[in-house]
Copies of this chain bind each other. A is one copy, B any other.
Amino acid sequence: MKRPLIVQKFGGTSVGSVERIGNVAEQVIRAKQTGKQVVVVVSAMSGETNRLVDLAKQVDSVPNARELDVLLAAGEQVSMALLSMALNKLGHAAVSLTGAQAQITTNSRHNNATISHVDTSVIDQYLDQDKVVIVAGFQGVNESGDITTLGRGGSDTTAVTLAGVLNAEECQIYTDVDGVYSCDPRVVTNAVKWPEIDFPTMHEMARKGAKVLHLPCVSYAWQHQVPLRVLSSFESGQGTLVVGEQAKAQVQGVALRKQMRLLKIAKSHVDVVDKQKEMLGVDEAEWLHDEHFSQLLLKSDCSDKLKLVIENKLVAEQDVALITMIGVEAIAQASQYQQLLNHSDISVLHFCEDKHSITLVIEPEAIDKAAVVLHDNTIITSGTVVEDVKQVHLG
Contact = CB atoms under 8 A, between A and B. Distances in A.
A212 interface: no
Interface in A44-65: 52, 55-56, 58-60, 63-64
B67 A81 contact: yes
Interface stretch (A69-77, A278-286, A307-315, A316-324): A69-77
A334 interface: no
A21 B80 contact: no
Contacts of A98: 70, 147
Contact of A145 (B55, B78, B101): B101
Contact of A74 (B18, B78, B100): B78
Given A55-B18, A100-B100, A70 B77 contact: yes
Given A70-B84, A77-B73, A84-B64, A59 B89 contact: yes
A85 interface: yes
B101 A85 contact: no
A193 interface: no
Nearest to A82: B59
Contacts of A64: 84-85, 88-89
B96 A59 contact: no
Given A18-B55, A100-B100, A70 B60 contact: no
A95 B21 CA distance: 33
A83 to B, nearest CB: 9
A259 to B, nearest CB: 32
18 contacts: A21-B59, A59-B89, A60-B89, A63-B85, A64-B84, A64-B85, A66-B95, A67-B81, A67-B96, A70-B77, A70-B81, A70-B98, A71-B78, A74-B78, A77-B77, A98-B147, A101-B145, A122-B145
A147 B96 CA distance: 10
Given A52-B78, A78-B52, A86 B59 contact: yes
A68 interface: yes
Contact of A56 (B60, B70, B74, B85): B85
A136 to B, nearest CB: 10
A225 B98 CA distance: 37
Residue of A63, A85, A147 most packed against chain B (CB within 10 A): A85
